């Protein structure tokens, strides 16, 4: 199964989408990603969604992320959610525009955000 995503300019819409998705997919597969760690934590907490952390990236990648530039860190997070390196780079560019991205990892066929 492939990951799917949607970008949001409004956090309320992102939270509402996460809440809707919980009835359609396993909650453990729903992630929130923003360019800023604090913003990501706030939105994820409101939506009761996941963030990409040590359990997804593994300890080694998490340690590397401490020393990476923010863009490199975000691309690594998207790659851990099973996006290709090309798609991860494109998504990181979207985050530079200030959007919130909701990702469903291992999304079932036909699921739309």
50-82 pLDDT, tens digit each: 998 545 444 454 455 454 577 788 998 899 899
Whole-number pLDDT of residue 57: 44
8-36 pLDDT, tens digit each: 999 999 999 999 999 999 999 999 999 99
C-alpha pair distances (Å), 85 with each of 49, 82, 95, 107: 24, 9, 15, 19
User: Per-residue pLDDT for 86 more than 80?
Assistant: yes
Give the Cβ contact number of residue 56 at 10 Å. Answer: 15
Mean pLDDT within 29-53 = 92
- Which tokens in the block code for residue 76? 């690594």
pTM exceeds 0.75, yes or no: yes
Task: Give the up-direction half-sphere exposure of residue 4: CA atoms within 13 A in the CB hemisphere.
Answer: 12
Whole-number pLDDT of residue 68: 53
């Amino acid at each position: 199964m492939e990951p799917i995503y949607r970008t949001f300019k409004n956090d309320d819409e992102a939270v509402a989408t996460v809440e809707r998705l919980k009835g359609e997919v396993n909650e453990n597969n729903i992630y929130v990603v923003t360019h800023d760690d604090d913003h990501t934590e706030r939105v994820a907490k409101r939506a009761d969604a996941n963030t990409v952390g040590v359990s997804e990236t593994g300890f080694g990648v998490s340690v590397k992320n401490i020393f990476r530039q923010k863009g490199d860190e975000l691309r690594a997070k998207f790659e851990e959610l099973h996006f290709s390196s090309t798609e991860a780079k494109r998504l990181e560019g979207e985050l530079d525009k200030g959007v919130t991205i909701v990702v469903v990892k291992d999304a079932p066929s036909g699921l739309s955000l």
